Structure 1
């Protein structure tokens, strides 16, 4: 049985030399992670890679660790070199192949580097067997992932095709971890035996056994960071910066003294935020301070809080480099803590970054809401963490109620304008990004992504107009794409002659796309169409898509979309279902009085309310369900993040037998219904109030 050497043992008569050639693989490469340490015995004029020696089929460790090369005797090594010199590599056809497939009936022999190239699997355990591509061990996936879900490597976070193969591996213990082979090998080489484990489920034993079986080398030493001198030096540095909304120090936010009013105190909980005593109005004897992020938890109100350390929540005002700074909202939502959350809950968490005390003014003129939004984004002091104060042309006097209504109205109109802009093309509710040269020059794609993020987080409606192809392109995952006219002609060609004619007519376009090729048979059609679709939807749109993603990451939104693409797809790709009477009845929470006499009357009125909703749905009323929703909440559709607070119905008892008109409280998403004795009176008053409000909105 072969054995690996232990790191740190004395290396007798050995040294490394990058110019020496390995006697087994005939390469001079010095890459320890790939070929192992390159060792030279000066007295014997012998140089080998350690892995080439371990994997050679005809040599074994017959000596002690201090003999030869870690137990491989010099005579045995030379004998193996002579043996392999008679064997031709099945890959490069050159002599010197020392590594053979462990299956006795298989005659494939290779050099170690050729075996890596040919996808051999080398097991660094037991007898150190090697297996060719036909006989190598494979993995099975007991719970295959949904093919429509774009996955990422759990180490490098880049896209990974969820199909098990030589280059794609999976943890045997959990069903959410996928790895590129190169990534997991690099991780193993860095973490080594004592720290190498699954990055998702943290399993060590089963994970290491499976990785060894699949040919991953795990060094028997400390992790690389344990061997590096002063590797954790930066942890000895404490946070030294004032993060108050308004720092009053004339010497800057980083100025600090040992004591006194300009001493910087760090958060007593997270230590990641700081403030001058003076900036936080702290007394000289006070030594403890809690930042805004940790204060809800410190006060015991943090049961519903998912820890989200947003750097920009309590830092200095917006810097001029907004385009590079806009995505720096650093959140440490763990995937497990957010796993059960809905998009609305995630959007609520992101909305907590918005200050309720600082405002950005949006003035909507006759040229439309989209132009007003662009002017807002172009402001030098634009900060997405500020609340919005929206003014429309017909606003004579801005009140809190009017501003609340404008805040509901603005995102809805903004998304409608964006959907119909030159930035998108295609049928309704199935839009793709359009390539527009002016939009590229003006960076409108970034603005569009930013507008969508702000709309969703500020309580705007679901989008519902993205095509599935566009949504998947956000993750570099295009599939089932719509074809253009040129592609239809090529795809529908039924003969080689028709195919050649279609290719010839589109030759200019195909040449620009890099897809122009010689057509020999109909089998060339499908790869050609696939390449054209890839160019049309991905390659030519790389810059617009990148800028669109950058804008969409405003306040950290796109990071969460990447983590949970499935639950967000409904917001982007599918229009919301038409509201029904049943949905409306469940949407509004009914608040009854504590007084029993009043409650009996309110229960009767609540029955009128439900009957009125059904009549609206059946078209027997002058108002629609959407009109009622607008009357109560100023919104004609349930926002992407849901309502906050939840819509409610309360009652008012009138002394008059005729009753009073229903009232709206949109700030609280509340409608106040007068208690009525008959359904006819109830319907008359509610219809009058809703119709009057609808009429005023259209004037």
Structure 2
């Protein structure tokens, strides 16, 4: 990537790598890069930016040192007026810089990063509801609090190993849930909570949650459609049924997970409901 100088970078932070017009950058490295004028049409140039402007930014970055790693090539400048700190996007997390993944893609150095304006009292022994480990005794870059209930305190990013096992850390939850389902795990607020997390630099993709991918739970919406009687008497077999009469398929009135033809369970034609052995 021309802008972060990384061959490999965390796609959750830097986004996908794009190549065009002889240029190669990560999507978010370009979005956060300072002093690059963006066209109104994203199809213009390279993701809405003129190639010469990107090359100019790369040339300018050669003179800018990252406030985190100390190396040159930093393309992101703190948005605070009169602040001259620059950094690479992959260094932001390590240096406790805040990058807001929403237009206009503002970024802040550790000294000027936004703080939560929430009055919340931390009870002794409070644990992060995601990893169940203790949190810091105050709000900080690494410890956030839900602005709605003021009782849920989180680590900004639980240990990577835990995220791999549970697929569920504050940043991990956001990446997998998407903006439509991202909410406080404790009070389920999805309005004030999401806005605050955007401001504090949590990336929340605008898409359906990953658990909706490939219709992973499509079968949960399917109606049970066969007879579970020990001996099915219907000539058409267990999966056959008629709309009414002795061969109408009744589902368990409690769990709906099992079914029976009326005759297979000795039920009269006017019997309106039935319960399976597990629920009876």
TM over 0.5: yes
How far did residue 257 of structure 1 move? 5.8
Identify unmatched segments of 5+ residues in structure 2: 158-168
| 1:124 aligns to 2:101 (yes or no) | yes
Q: Distance in 2 between matches of 1:54 and 1:71?
A: 10
Preserved contact between residue 121 and residue 131 of structure 1 (Cα < 8 Å): yes
| 1:151 aligns to 2:127 (yes or no) | yes
| 1:86 aligns to 2:63 (yes or no) | yes
How far did residue 85 of structure 1 move? 1.1
Q: Distance in 2 between matches of 1:230 and 1:70?
A: 31
Q: Distance in 1 between matches of 2:142 and 2:227?
A: 48
Change (3 A) 1:35 1:213: same
| 1:166 aligns to 2:151 (yes or no) | no
Note the 1:86-485 alignment, pairs <5 A: 86-148=63-125, 150-153=126-129, 156=130, 158-161=132-135, 163=137, 164-182=139-157, 183-225=169-211, 228-239=213-224, 249=230, 256=238, 258=240, 265-272=250-257, 274=258, 282-285=266-269, 286-290=271-275, 314=278
Note the 1:617-696 alignment, pairs <5 A: none
Structure (1 or 2) with the greater helix fraction: 1
Taking structure 1 as the reference length, the TM-score comes to: 0.33
**Secondary structure of residue in 1 paired with 2:93:** helix
Q: Distance in 1 between matches of 2:9 and 2:90?
A: 12
Change (3 A) 1:166 1:262: farther
Larger radius of gyration: 1
Change (3 A) 1:71 1:275: closer
**Secondary structure of residue in 1 paired with 2:173:** helix
Q: Distance in 1 between matches of 2:104 and 2:223?
A: 50
Q: Cα deviation per residue 1:245-275 (whole Å; 9 max; x = unaligned)?
A: xxx9389xxx956469999853324424x36
Q: Indicate which of 25, 30, 35 corresponds to 2:4.
A: 25
Q: Distance in 2 between matches of 1:261 and 1:181?
A: 60
Q: Distance in 2 between matches of 1:281 and 1:62?
A: 70
How far did residue 51 of structure 1 move? 1.1
Change (3 A) 1:122 1:264: same
How far did residue 78 of structure 1 move? 0.7
Q: Distance in 1 between matches of 2:191 and 2:204?
A: 12
Q: Distance in 2 between matches of 1:261 and 1:151?
A: 57
| 1:56 aligns to 2:30 (yes or no) | no
Preserved contact between residue 85 and residue 95 of structure 1 (Cα < 8 Å): yes
Preserved contact between residue 256 and residue 262 of structure 1 (Cα < 8 Å): no
Q: Cα deviation per residue 1:634-684 (whole Å; 9 max; x = unaligned)?
A: xxxxxxxxxxxxxxxxxxxxxxxxxxxxxxxxxxxxxxxxxxxxxxxxxxx
Q: Distance in 2 between matches of 1:262 and 1:159?
A: 56
How far did residue 283 of structure 1 move? 0.9
Q: Cα deviation per residue 1:268-306 (whole Å; 9 max; x = unaligned)?
A: 24424x36579x9651533512469xxxxxxxxxxxxxx
Preserved contact between residue 160 and residue 168 of structure 1 (Cα < 8 Å): no
> What corresponds to 2:161 in structure 1?
none
Q: Distance in 1 between matches of 2:248 and 2:173?
A: 42
Change (3 A) 1:214 1:240: same
Q: Distance in 1 between matches of 2:204 and 2:259?
A: 46
Preserved contact between residue 13 and residue 89 of structure 2 (Cα < 8 Å): no
RMSD of the alignment, in Å?
A: 3.6
Change (3 A) 1:129 1:115: same
**Secondary structure of residue in 1 paired with 2:53:** helix
Q: Distance in 1 between matches of 2:58 and 2:200?
A: 27
Q: Distance in 2 between matches of 1:261 and 1:31?
A: 61
Q: Cα deviation per residue 1:544-567 (whole Å; 9 max; x = unaligned)?
A: xxxxxxxxxxxxxxxxxxxxxxxx
**Secondary structure of residue in 2 paired with 1:67:** coil
Preserved contact between residue 257 and residue 263 of structure 1 (Cα < 8 Å): no
Q: Distance in 2 between matches of 1:268 and 1:290?
A: 6
Q: Distance in 1 between matches of 2:246 and 2:40?
A: 71
**Secondary structure of residue in 2 paired with 1:48:** strand
Q: Distance in 1 between matches of 2:238 and 2:133?
A: 45
Q: Cα deviation per residue 1:134-153 (whole Å; 9 max; x = unaligned)?
A: 221122552324214x5342
How far did residue 95 of structure 1 move? 1.5
- Higher RCO (C-alpha under 8 Å, 6+ residues apart): 2
Q: Distance in 2 between matches of 1:241 and 1:31?
A: 48
Q: Distance in 2 between matches of 1:176 and 1:242?
A: 49
Q: Distance in 1 between matches of 2:185 and 2:205?
A: 18
Preserved contact between residue 227 and residue 239 of structure 2 (Cα < 8 Å): no
**Alignment size in residue pairs:** 258
Identify unmatched segments of 5+ residues in structure 1: 1-21, 293-313, 316-699
How far did residue 186 of structure 1 move? 2.8
Preserved contact between residue 242 and residue 276 of structure 1 (Cα < 8 Å): yes
Q: Distance in 2 between matches of 1:275 and 1:102?
A: 63
**Secondary structure of residue in 1 paired with 2:92:** helix
